[in-house]
């Protein structure tokens, strides 16, 4: 989508945002949040979008209204649209950003397997936008990254293998500032990343550890690492998932997709920072070579792990990925994103991701980025009792807590991963509820893959 700043309306289709007060002259339109109405006035088609009371209107209201407007534009099959940028009490730059996000993200649909494809919106004119062309470009590039993450998650698990994710990383690495290294199964074995190779053992498509290094600032400046769970399909392994749980498990690489997407935006925007990306990529399969429940495996960090469920595989691959990342890069902070537990859906629904951290400042900054972007987080505790419940009998740790089945599974999952973060400030985002929307579209959040985490991380990184 091309986005331009204009002063005049050059398109027969126009989006207008209206507050309740401003809507008084429009018949049969009260401008409540969620209200959208298409009117024909002379040669113009006007899409009115309600944004409620002026003093309650936030960037989230605007983003969501713009998304609904984009969906109306698509229903009308219009390929160009003008949008009058409203002047509100919100910062004008944030207003523009929210509108771009709403339209670019709201227009997204995964149509690869649909015989009938919608007409894409080719141009968006922002009428009266005060934001700089640079900001407009950056916002668009971030949205394209979100849609890229969505495409990766929505695509068939038969296509999105560990090798495919590695190929995508290498493609991004063609850009000069990004170095991509892929550890194949042989090097994983040689280096002792045994938890990753154990989880990947049952699949005909071998595991990989994908490493991305972006150097946009001076060498030696602080490096943040982002790590994404890349289970390209989670069958549960020998603890096979039942019907009702297994169908959506191609989403289990949504953390990896978010990490790749962040780098896809970074190589275009070229911010002055250093960033490490790590993706443990595996297919958790059932089969004659699959790893065994009850067995004990030695992790890269040296701690031994009793496998009580092959379906609690995310924490296993993250444990090795985090330990290896610390060893190799010594990052100042590690943030992992993982569709880790069904429990987080019980706790926070599809609306909010779980936040766990060993560092209050890191947690606060992530929380703030969540509030700003609308990709919201809520922090949960990591008290000692949770860690105690993970002590092994024959090995050092067990991958399931001793709590009653399912109790506090998101917290004990996080507490397990923490054992491998050492003294590196670390945060874990459990995105199992927010990465995939099984309901219908909600504003800028489409049905199925949502691309959750990309805007959040970009905002956290100050972009």
User: Residues interacting with ligand BES, by CB under 6 A?
Assistant: 234, 251-252, 309, 311-314, 339-343, 400, 409, 432
Q: Indicate which residue of 63, 250, 315, 455 is catalytic.
A: 315
Which long-range contacts (C-beta less than 8 Å, at least 24 apart) are formed by 43-46? 43/12, 44/9, 44/12, 44/13, 44/14, 45/12, 45/13, 45/14, 45/76, 45/78, 46/14, 46/15, 46/16
Query: Shortest Cβ distance from residue 258 to Zn ion (Å)?
Result: 15
- Measured CA to CA, the distance from residue 329 to residue 178 in angstroms comes to 15
- Measured CA to CA, the distance from residue 177 to residue 33 in angstroms comes to 43
- Residue closer to Zn ion (CB basis): 83 or 397: 397
Binders in 251-270 for Zn ion, by CB under 5 A: 252
272 is catalytic: no
- Measured CA to CA, the distance from residue 421 to residue 423 in angstroms comes to 6
- Measured CA to CA, the distance from residue 44 to residue 12 in angstroms comes to 5
Q: Indicate which residue of 109, 241, 250, 376 is catalytic.
A: 241
Closest-CB residue for ligand BES? 342
Query: Shortest Cβ distance from residue 142 to Zn ion (Å)?
Result: 27
- Residue closer to Zn ion (CB basis): 107 or 260: 260
- Residue closer to ligand BES (CB basis): 102 or 343: 343
Q: Which of 311, 350, 419, 430 binds Zn ion (CB under 5 A)?
A: 311
Does position 430 interact with Zn ion (CB under 5 A)? The reply is no
Query: Shortest Cβ distance from residue 310 to Zn ion (Å)?
Result: 8
| Alpha carbon distances (Å) from 140 to 128, 137, 147 | 18, 5, 11
Question: Residue 409 touches which of ligand BES, Zn ion, none (CB < 5 to 8 A by kind)?
Answer: ligand BES
Query: Shortest Cβ distance from residue 285 to Zn ion (Å)?
Result: 12
- Residue closer to ligand BES (CB basis): 127 or 312: 312
- Measured CA to CA, the distance from residue 301 to residue 437 in angstroms comes to 35
Write the binding mask 205 to 244 for Zn ion: x where contact by CB under 5 A, - elsewhere: --------------------------x--x----------
Does position 314 interact with Zn ion (CB under 5 A)? The reply is yes
C-alpha count within 13 angstroms, C-beta hemisphere, residue 290 = 21
Does position 20 interact with Zn ion (CB under 5 A)? The reply is no
315 is catalytic: yes
Query: Shortest Cβ distance from residue 107 to ligand BES (Å)?
Result: 26
Can you spell out the DSSP letters for 35-86?
-EEEEEETTEEEEEEE---GGG--HHHHHHHHHHHHHHHHHTT-SEEEEEPP
- Measured CA to CA, the distance from residue 409 to residue 401 in angstroms comes to 8
CB-CB contact of 280 with 325 (8 Å): no
Query: Shortest Cβ distance from residue 238 to Zn ion (Å)?
Result: 11
Question: Hey, how many other C-beta atoms are within 10 angstroms of the C-beta on 231?
Answer: 30
Question: Residue 342 touches which of ligand BES, Zn ion, none (CB < 5 to 8 A by kind)?
Answer: ligand BES
Kindly list the catalytic residues.
241, 315
Q: Which residues bind Zn ion (CB under 5 A)?
A: 231, 234, 252, 311, 313-314
């Amino acid at each position: 989508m091309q986005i331009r700043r204009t002063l005049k309306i050059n398109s027969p289709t126009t989006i207008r945002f209206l507050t309740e007060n401003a809507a008084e002259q429009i018949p049969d339109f009260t401008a409540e949040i969620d209200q959208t109405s298409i009117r024909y006035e002379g040669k113009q088609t006007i899409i009115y979008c309600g944004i409620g009371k002026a003093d309650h209107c936030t960037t989230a209201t605007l983003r969501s209204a713009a998304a609904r407007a984009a969906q109306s534009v698509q229903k009308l099959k219009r390929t160009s649209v003008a949008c009058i940028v409203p002047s509100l009490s919100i910062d004008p730059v944030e207003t523009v950003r929210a509108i771009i996000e709403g339209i670019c993200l709201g227009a997204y649909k995964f149509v690869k397997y649909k015989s009938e494809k919608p007409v894409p919106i080719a141009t968006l004119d922002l009428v009266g936008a005060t934001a700089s062309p640079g900001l407009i470009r950056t916002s668009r590039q971030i949205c394209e990254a979100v849609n890229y993450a969505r495409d990766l998650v929505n695509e068939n698990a038969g296509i999105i293998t560990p090798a495919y994710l590695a190929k995508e990383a290498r493609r991004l690495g063609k850009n000069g500032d990004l170095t991509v290294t892929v550890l194949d199964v042989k090097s994983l074995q040689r280096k002792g990343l045994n938890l990753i190779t154990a989880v990947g053992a049952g699949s005909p498509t071998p595991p990989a550890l994908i490493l991305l290094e972006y150097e946009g600032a001076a060498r030696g400046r602080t490096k943040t690492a982002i790590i994404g769970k890349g289970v390209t399909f989670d069958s549960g392994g020998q603890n096979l998932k039942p019907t009702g749980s297994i169908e959506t498990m191609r989403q289990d690489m949504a953390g990896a997709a978010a990490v790749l997407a962040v780098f896809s935006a970074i190589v275009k925007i070229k911010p002055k920072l250093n960033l490490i990306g790590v993706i443990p990529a595996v297919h958790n399969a059932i089969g004659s070579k699959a790893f065994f429940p009850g067995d004990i495996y030695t992790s890269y960090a040296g701690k031994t792990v009793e496998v009580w469920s092959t379906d609690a595989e995310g924490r296993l691959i993250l444990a090795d990925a985090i330990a290896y990342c610390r060893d190799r890069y010594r990052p100042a902070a590690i943030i992992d994103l993982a569709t880790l537990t069904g429990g987080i859906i019980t706790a926070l629904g599809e609306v909010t991701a779980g936040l766990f951290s060993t560092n209050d400042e890191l947690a606060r900054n992530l929380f703030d980025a969540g509030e700003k972007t609308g990709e919201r987080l809520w922090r949960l505790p990591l008290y000692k009792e949770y860690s105690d419940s993970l002590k092994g009998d024959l090995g050092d740790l067990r991958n399931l807590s001793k709590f009653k089945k399912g109790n506090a599974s998101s917290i004990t999952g996080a507490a397990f991963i923490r054992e491998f973060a050492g003294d590196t400030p670390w945060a874990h985002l459990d995105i199992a509820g927010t990465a995939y929307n099984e309901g219908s579209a909600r504003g800028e959040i489409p049905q199925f893959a949502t691309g959750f985490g990309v805007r959040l991380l970009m905002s956290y990184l100050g972009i």
